């Protein structure tokens, strides 16, 4: 019985990347960065106390209440909707812990 190692997965990914068109490689890299950010977020949450998290939330709430941040959020929403309408997005499914469990390719 062969145990798949980290290096084996690395080699699998390299083989996959070599045959993908550049637009798909870009999506793969974006997804990998998303997964990496999830891990970093989970590590930060484990290290923070409830009081620290509450204080951070209050800061974010104050920041998001400004006109400048609302304008930026509106701009990002317009860009996201344009990407979706152009077929550049893919649906995702999440588990109860809000981790991705399914990344489904969109066929138009």
Per-residue pLDDT of the chain (108 residues; tens, 9 = 90+): 678 898 999 999 999 999 999 888 888 988 888 888 888 777 777 777 778 888 889 998 998 889 999 899 999 999 999 999 998 888 877 778 777 776 665 554
CA–CA dist 31, 15 (Å, integer): 17
pTM: 0.41
CA–CA dist 6, 62 (Å, integer): 42
Would you call 104 exposed, middle or buried from its count of C-beta atoms within 10 A (0-12, 13-18, 19+)?
A: exposed
SS (H, E, C) 72-99: HHHHHHHHHHHHHHCCCCCCEEECCCCC
């Amino acid at each position: 019985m062969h145990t798949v190692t980290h290096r084996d997965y690395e080699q699998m990914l390299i083989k996959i990347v070599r045959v993908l068109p550049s637009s798909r490689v870009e999506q793969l890299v974006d997804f990998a960065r998303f997964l990496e950010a999830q891990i970093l977020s989970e590590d930060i949450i484990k290290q923070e106390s409830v009081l620290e998290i509450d204080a951070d939330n209050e800061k974010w709430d104050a920041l998001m209440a400004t006109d400048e941040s609302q304008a930026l959020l509106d701009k990002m929403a317009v860009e996201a909707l344009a990407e979706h309408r152009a077929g550049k997005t893919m649906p995702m499914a999440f588990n109860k812990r809000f981790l991705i469990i399914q990344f489904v390719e969109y066929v138009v």
